[in-house]
Structure formats: C-alpha cells, structure tokens
C-alpha cells in the first residue's frame, strides 16, 4: 500500500496541482523530500510573496494553485496577501506543516497552535485531520471546497509524521472523484429578467471581476450590443470584464455610495453581474440607489447576495446567465451609442514622467494581449483613461486593497502565461512589500517585466489624507530607494528612466529577452 505522502501526490496530480509554491521549514520537509519528478517547486523568499505568487498564478490560469507554508509563523507571514485571494475568489489550496501528532497540545517549538482557527476568518474552510489516515480525504475535501461556488482559499494543517503512515485502501476513490456546480437561472427567473430588460426605458449594465474570471466578457459584449447599454465596471475593480474601447464603456464606478448613485441617476434598471453590490471605499454617504431605480444582482457568491444592502439578488452561474440573457432579449430600437472620444493627450511637464503619458506609451508599444498586474494605487484614473484592454484576463489588481499582491502576483501570472507578456505596474511604496519575488523570477527565468513607478511617497495615502481632512501625517514618504541596485542584487536586469522615449527603449529591450526585467520610472505624483 502507498503511504499518505504518495497518495497525496497522486491526488494533487489528478487535479492538475503539480506546481507547489512554498518556503519550507522543518515541519514541511517530510512531505517535500523526494518530490516526484513531474512536480515543480517554486521557492519564494518570504511567505507573503509565496502566497501572492500563487494567487497571481491561479488568477492567470483560471484554476487552483497549491501552497505549502511553514507552520504558524509562515501562515502569519502570508495572511496579508491572503486577503486579496479572499476577495478575488482565488481557489488556493494552502497547507502548513504541523509538529508530530503526539505533541499537539503541548505547544512545542514550531507547533501550529489551534491550526484550523489560525487563518480564519479569511479562508473559506480550514481543518487539521483527526488522524493520519484522514489526511488524503481532508486534502481532497479542501480541493473541492476551494473550487465550488463561491471559489476561495482553503487551509489544511498536517502533522509531519502523518506523511509516512500507510494510506487506507479507500483513498483510491478520491482519485476518481469530481464535483461541479450546476446552478443556473430557472426559465421563470430568466423570463422575468428578459421582460424587465426589454421593458426598461434606460437600463445600464454594471460588471464585476467574476465576469472576467468566468470567461464571460464576450457574453457581456453581446448583451450590451443587443440592448445598446452603457456599461460600467463595479467599484474597486480587481479585473477588467469589458473592452475599454467599446462604445458602451463608461469607466469604473466611484467607490462611494453617493458617487455610485450619481453615476446611475436616470437609469430605471441596473443589472449588476459578477460583482458585490457594492465594494465602497471612501465614506461618502447617500441614497444607495436613485429614486425609482430597480437593481438586479447576478452573483455566484451566496454571501455577496446576502450582505448587499439593496436590490434583488439571483445566485447563479454568471457566464450561463449572461449568455442566456443575451440570447433572450430583443434587439433594441434605441439609437446606437456614440463612439468613445480619443485618448486624452498628456505631456509631462516638470520633473518626472506623468503616469498617463507612461501608460499611453505602454499602450503603443506593449503586445496587444499583454497582461497587466497593477499595484500603483495613486495612478488608477490615469491607467483607465489610457489603456486599451480587449482580451480576457488582461488586468489584475489587489482585490482587498492591501499592498503586497502586485509584484509577486505578476511573477506568478507570468509563470502561468508562457504565451502572453505580463507587465507589473507597481508603485514604489507597494514594491517593497513583495520585492523578494524578484529573486524567484531570476532563479526560474520568468520573463516578467516589472515597471516601478517611483514618486517617493505613498500617493494614494496622500490623496486620502485630503479626503479625510487629516492634514500632514507622518510616514507618508519613502525617498531614496534605488530599485535598480535592489533588482541587481536579486539577479534581475534593471534600468532607471525619466522620459517616455527612454522608457520605450528599455521596454522594447526587455520584450523577448527571455529574462525578467525591472524598469524604474521617475514619475510625477498624481491622485487616484
């Protein structure tokens, strides 16, 4: 009979989880020793970077990623980036090593104390198997729970002496198991929604990250075209679910109650698909909806449906719903929406490159299907004003708002995308949270291009200080960081530029080099 360790590798193989992201400690060595040749181990130098790399990998490939952390200490280091995986519905299967089973409760060195409670409330589910024989079944349960709606990260703590125990015969069934969701709108629900859309005088479509995650962007376009709908992206956008140069595109809704209400004023029906209703940020109170406006919310997450403060929610498969709605509605007689105006022209003045000019330059020289992982929070408006995003899975942003996702996630996304160029657009404040991922990119020759926008301060925080009327506060500035030297120390080629022309030269040199590259760009301070 196979032991628990061998059976677990067979289980991971059956689910396509043959890439392991980790930073090992003593508790993890019995699982990793003699890892099968068809598996690959991606080492990160800090568990926060490990978790974010796995998150970027999972988002880009549209499936799970397997993470191996070191007991309580490693789990704690990963909790910050874990918040992004929660709100982006990333099905991460996270494991951590526990001390030998006989010592649980004694709190010996490197014990994972009260392990199932440690990552809560962030994870969707967590467990520590009650006995060694239950380890494969518990990991199987974790994989299935992570991938059933609503997807999300899960956590399993495994005592390290369990791996050598004999696996029970019954675990063979685990290798053949599958689970799938089958929720869809009933014919009556679909019919009511189609009638409402056909009857609405001025409907509007609001799309969220799950549209992109479910590969339903084209279905959203068909619906928008058939009804000639204006289309907004829901507030706090972590993905791009609609082509940004489509004539219906209106931008990203502001992340404040009154801002959303103002933007939706005049619409009698709001159809929200694949987004929470809504993820506000700055507190600007007001009425949740304009007077007389009806909101219908399509979501794959029952928790999102339950906690929304307004509207009518239908829990369903987003892709199935949008495709069937687009097929069911009548083509409208409303006039076609006018084409979008051209991109605003921005010319940098003074010291440093204006972010909008940087993004305009990038739009011209980057591959059409480039994937952008962005964590430059002070340049959000400039980015959306300049970029032409038309491909599925082209944009990822930290879903929780916490820093530390961007740079490692770009490395992970590039690992998943051999056929597309990944570009990380990272603020100089954000970069420091996950800078160790550069070492991983260098060691594994992951050809990601990291563009660091360097303005010497936490730009978004300075803007928020104005919103809160907080005045001057300490800890706002991060001057005198030399990212070229830091990147070089990790083994990554790097250069620093100040003009659009020099950036274009550096970016073109990085393209197709087969190696990671860092381009530090001196930029002007802007507001989100």
* Cross-strand bridge partners of residue 326: none
Q: Residue count of the chain, please give it.
A: 528
Nearest to 203 by CA among 370, 334, 72, 371: 334
List the structure tokens of 43: 């080492």
Kindly give the residue spans of alpha helices, DSSP state H, lying in 329-468.
355-365, 380-386, 406-416, 428-431, 437-443, 459-467
**DSSP letters of 44-109?**
-SSHHHHHHHHHHHHHHHTS-EEEEE-HHHHHHHHHHHHHHHHHTT--EEEEEEE--GGGTTS--T
Round to whole Å and give the CA distance between 330 and 328.
7
Strands in 19-22's sheet, in edge-to-edge order, are 40-43, 19-22, 65-69, 92-98, 154-159, 125-127
Round to whole Å and give the CA distance between 236 and 88.
11
Cβ 193 vs Cβ 262: under 8 Å: no
List the structure tokens of 482: 């030399």
Residues classed as catalytic: 25-26, 28, 47, 70, 281, 401
């Amino acid at each position: 009979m196979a032991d628990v360790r061998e059976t677990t590798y067979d289980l991971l193989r059956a689910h396509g989880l043959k890439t392991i992201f980790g930073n090992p400690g003593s508790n993890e060595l019995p699982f990793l020793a003699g890892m099968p040749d068809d598996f690959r181990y991606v080492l990160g130098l800090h568990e926060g970077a490990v978790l974010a790399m796995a998150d970027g990998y999972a988002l880009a490939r549209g499936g799970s990623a397997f993470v191996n952390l070191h007991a309580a200490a490693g789990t704690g280091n990963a909790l910050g980036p874990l918040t992004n995986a929660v709100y982006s519905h990333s099905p991460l299967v996270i494991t951590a090593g526990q001390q030998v089973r006989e010592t649980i409760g004694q709190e010996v060195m490197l014990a994972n104390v009260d392990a199932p409670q440690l990552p809560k409330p962030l994870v969707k589910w967590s467990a520590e198997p009650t006995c060694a024989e239950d380890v494969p079944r518990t990991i199987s349960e974790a994989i299935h729970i992570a991938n059933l709606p609503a997807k999300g990260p899960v956590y399993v703590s495994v005592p390290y002496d369990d791996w050598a125990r004999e696996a029970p015969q019954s675990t063979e069934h685990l290798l053949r198991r599958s689970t799938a969701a089958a929720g869809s709108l009933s014919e009556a629900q679909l019919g009511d929604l189609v009638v409402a859309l056909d009857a609405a005088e001025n409907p509007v479509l609001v799309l969220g990250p799950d549209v992109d995650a479910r590969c339903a962007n084209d279905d959203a376009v068909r619906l928008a075209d058939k009804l000639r709908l204006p289309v907004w992206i829901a507030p706090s956008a972590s993905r791009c679910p609609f082509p940004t140069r489509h004539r219906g595109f209106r931008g990203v809704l502001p992340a404040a109650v009154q801002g959303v209400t103002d933007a939706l004023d005049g619409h009698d029906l709001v159809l929200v698909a694949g987004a929470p209703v809504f993820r506000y940020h700055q507190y600007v109170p007001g009425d949740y909806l304009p007077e007389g406006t009806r909101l219908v919310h399509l979501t794959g997450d029952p928790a999102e449906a339950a906690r929304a403060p307004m509207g009518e929610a239908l829990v369903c498969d987003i892709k199935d719903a949008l495709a069937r709605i687009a097929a069911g509605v009548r083509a409208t007689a409303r006039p076609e929406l006018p084409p979008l105006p051209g991109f605003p022209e921005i010319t940098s003045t003074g010291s440093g490159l204006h972010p909008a000019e940087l993004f305009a330059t990038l739009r011209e020289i980057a591959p059409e299907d480039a994937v952008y992982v962005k964590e430059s929070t002070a340049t959000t408006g400039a980015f959306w004003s300049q970029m032409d995003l038309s491909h599925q899975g082209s944009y990822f942003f930290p879903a929780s708002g916490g820093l530390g996702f961007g740079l490692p996630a770009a490395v992970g996304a590039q690992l998943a995308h051999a056929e597309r160029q990944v570009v990380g657009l990272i603020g100089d404040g954000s970069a420091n949270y996950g800078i160790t991922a550069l070492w991983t990119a260098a060691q594994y020759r992951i050809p990601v291009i990291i563009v660091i926008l360097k303005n010497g301060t936490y730009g978004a925080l300075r803007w928020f200080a104005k919103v809160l009327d907080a005045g001057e506060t300490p800890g706002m500035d991060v001057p005198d960081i030399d990212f070229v030297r830091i990147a070089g120390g990790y083994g990554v080629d790097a250069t620093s530029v100040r003009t659009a022309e020099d950036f274009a030269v550096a970016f073109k040199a990085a393209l197709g080099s087969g190696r990671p590259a860092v381009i530090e760009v001196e930029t002007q301070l802007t507001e989100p």
